[in-house]
Structure 1
Amino acid sequence: MSRSERSPLLLAGLLAVAGAAHFASPRPFDAIVPEALPGTPRAWTYASGAAELALAAGLALPRTRRGAALATAAFFAGVFPANVKMALDWRHRPTPQKAAAFARLPLQVPLVLWARGVAAGAEGRS
């Protein structure tokens, strides 16, 4: 299997693990849901976990890969406010935790680019 064939499956795996984590251990995700969102943090935690699982499934299937990859890029951009909230909330924590929270912010860029790359690769195979 070539690198370009593995990339969508690796991204799908990342999303599947993250999505499952939202259900297995929701409390840390609840804590980073921005207060401005309506409803309960738990509802947003479960909704985002379900979205990640659905995106993972879409990425795993060649027929739906391009659309799922574009939706994944949008999803990664959409959850950025949660990462900002986490960084702000954790700014007074010990240095390793603070560093991890702030490191998540620029990490969104390569995730969005990865998803767009998967979409572009799927487009070339259609």
Structure 2
Amino acid sequence: MGESKLLGPESVRGANEAIAWIRARRIASQDRQKSYGDPKRSYIEFSVGDYVFLIVSPMKGVRRFKKKRKLNPRFVGLFEILERIGQVAYRLALQPALFGVHNVFHASMLRKYVSDSSHVLSYETLSL
């Protein structure tokens, strides 16, 4: 049928050199991509007791939060942070209506609530 070649030490050495070259190029490429992405990345930290909004993706909003409208909100509720779990996860105090939703979320899914008294509207009573 055919002859089988035995691998000699020079072919094994050549393969190992090729693998080392590929690894070095891959690491250089990863480092270059990381240097491009790091300046754009921001690390968000919250403390216990802060109030946050929860970012909702369109499909998850329909399934979990019962939001099914044409102009769907991007954020849901105003929730208090109960505790920090690990470096980037937080446990939220959810409303009883959201009993089917897990209460631990990644920091990228949260948006900090900044209290501002200017957004509160005062109204005057009208006498008819």
Question: TM-score normalised by the shorter chain: which range applies?
Answer: under 0.3
Larger RCO (CA within 8 A; separation ≥ 6): 1
Normalising by structure 1, what TM-score? Answer: 0.24
Structure showing the higher helix proportion among its residues: 1
Structure 2 length normalisation: TM-score?
0.24
Larger-gyration structure (1/2): 2
**Higher percent of residues as strand:** 2
